[in-house]
Structure 1
Amino acid sequence: MSSYGQFALVYDRLMADMPYPEWLRFAELCWERYGKPETVVDLGCGTGSLSIPLALKGYHVYGIDLSSDMLTVARSKWEESPQNAMRPGTGSVQWLHQDMCEWELLEPADSVISFCDCVNYLIEEEEVEAAFRATFNGLRPGGLFLFDVHPPSTLVRYAEEQPFYLDEQDVAYIWTSDLDEERCEIEHNLTIFSREKDGRFIRFEETHVQRAYDADWIEQALRRAGFTQVDRYADFQLRQPAEQSERLFFAAVK
């Protein structure tokens, strides 16, 4: 998995159009159905764009990420949030620098979320299995694991539609993708230009690799990890996936 490096500094700018409110709404829809948690692990939390709103809603959140750079940005956002310690009912966030394949807490959590296709960044089956086992071990009995993935069809579409471009006043990128059809693994190569405070642009390169897995294999891997109930949904709705679904969601109960 990428450490993100300089990417962390422009991540929020580039991800401004991501559907964070929809992920939050989906999580709370599931918690209404499966049971509302008090403690939530945000696995692969990035810069805290889900962890922080959850804490402001009153949840006690553990934001876990492999990238110390992303966690530095997340911590700054939390500390600078005007609602942080002022609004009644605000929860808490602890930021933890851990690998999602072997994460652990001192006490089990009520729920774990891993959104924004974090599982796709695990490019070997053994890594996925390890992450599922760690999550099973980190949940209390009856706890809920929620995550989303890109199905193989979405990676194929990326490869067909690339290259992608962004040209804004403060940031620009060129994004190309190369698909390994046999492994259903895609390599995203980004050349990013970011404006500094003095007006100069800096250029840096980022490579991100994702792999898509068959939904049946994912469910079997969850059950091998010990989860007793596995439900599938699609595209931020509590409905069954269809062939054209762009994003699959799993709800697994310990």
Structure 2
Amino acid sequence: MNNFGILAAGYDKYNTADYDKYAAFVKDAFSLSAIPVKEVLDLGCGTGEMAVRLADMGYSVTALDISAEMLSVLTDKIKGRDILPVFQDMINIDLYGTVAGCISAFDSLNYLLNAKDLEKAFAGVGKFMEKGGVFVFDINTSYAYEKVYADNSYVYETENSMLVWRNCYNRNTRKCHFYLTEFELSDDGRYFRTDAVHVQKNHSLRTIKTAADKAGFDVMGIYGNTDRGELENTSPKAYYVLRKNREL
């Protein structure tokens, strides 16, 4: 379950996200920090596209992920940048020092499948964040799970590969199963098939706010996009900006 190996090598070629725009949103959100932001934690960094952009903006980035395959892709991108890859589970964060900023981009926190694990992740961020620091993240919304994913299927194609993405959302458990199948063209003309299953949790606003409060964070803003637009019922993602205002 949640084997990211199938996604690691091909994640960037299938992903059409606007990383530059997201990084600009993060930089702007960091201006709400009560302290200077230099050291940043990228929680669930994946292949490191956000970590690279933050490093290019001058931040010192600790890039944490539970997937060795994802971190391997990131390592090839570092090229002298101030990025430290860390192989860890986000519910058991143990850093070498404190940070003043943290991000968790592209629904990484939805992979935590219950409120207890979400609270552990927030507590870990709070433990290693200096008072006054800022935590920026996004969460898939109910609209995303009920309307965009639901029981729909999607196909992503490149010149030499194809990814079939089938979804199954359960409103009772608030969990969504993603069934991934990739076909990769080999040099001898044959296609190799790889299968994986991912599971995400549709966390409620109350669950997120409770986890934030327990970890010493106050909500500074919740937005529907990286332009700081209003969160609406049809917003597929919710973008949160939190500030650590209390030591616990």
2:133–2:243 Cα contact (<8 Å) kept: yes
Answer whether contact 1:219 1:230 (CA < 8 A) is retained: no
Q: Does 1:96 align with 2:86?
A: yes
Judge conservation of contact 1:41–1:111 (CA < 8 Å) in 2. Answer: yes
Divergent runs of 4+, >4 A: none
Secondary structure of residue in 2 paired with 1:147: strand
| Structure 2 residues not aligned, in runs of 5+ | none
Q: Report the Cα distance in structure 2 between the residues aligned to 1:5 and 1:173, rounded to whole angstroms.
A: 13
Is residue 2:77 matched to residue 1:46? Answer: no
Alpha-carbon distance in structure 2 between the residues aligned to 1:160 and 1:99: 28
Alpha-carbon distance change, 117 to 139 in structure 1, aligned in 2, over 3 angstroms? same
1:118 aligns with 2:108: yes
Q: Partner of 2:242: helix, strand, or coil?
A: strand
1:56 is the counterpart of 2:56: yes
Mapped contact 1:151–1:215 kept (Cα < 8 A)? no
Residue 37 (structure 1) aligned with residue 27 (structure 2): no
User: What is aligned with 2:10?
Assistant: 10
Alignment counterpart, residue 153 of structure 2, candidates 153, 163, 182 = 163
For 1:181-214, what per-residue CA distance to the aligned partner results, in whole angstroms no more than 9, with x for missing partners? 1122110101111223454321100211111111
Which residue is 1:105 aligned to? 95
Give per-residue Cα distances to partners, 1:46-66, cap 9 Å, x unaligned: 111110121122110000000
Partner of 1:87: none
Output the TM-score relative to the length of structure 1: 0.89
TM superposition shift of 1:219: 1.1
Describe the shift of the 1:229–1:157 C-alpha distance in structure 2 as closer, same or farther (beyond 3 A).
Answer: closer
Amino acid at match of 2:22: W
Q: Which amino acid aligns with 2:70?
A: M
Partners of 1:76 and 1:159 in 2: CA distance: 32
Specify the alignment match of 2:18 in structure 1. 19
Match of 1:241 in 2: 231
Shift of 1:164: 0.8
**2:225 is the alignment partner of 1:227:** no
Q: Secondary structure at the match of 1:34?
A: coil
Report if the CA contact (8 A) 2:106-2:138 is conserved: yes
Question: Which whole-Å deviations, capped at 9, do the CAs of 1:105-162 have from their partners, x for residues lacking one?
Answer: 1211010000100011111111101101001101011111110001111111134461
> In 1, Cα distance between the equivalents of 2:149 and 2:220?
30
Q: Does 1 or 2 have the higher relative contact order (CA < 8 Å, sep 6+)?
A: 2
State the distance in 2 between where 1:215 and 1:106 align. Answer: 31
Equivalent AA in structure 2 for residue 31 of structure 1: F
- How many residues were matched structurally? 243
Tell me the secondary structure at the aligned position of residue 95 of structure 2: coil
Kindly, what percent of the aligned residue pairs are identical?
26
| Distance of 2:22 and 2:198 partners within structure 1 | 22
Cα RMSD, aligned residues only: 1.8
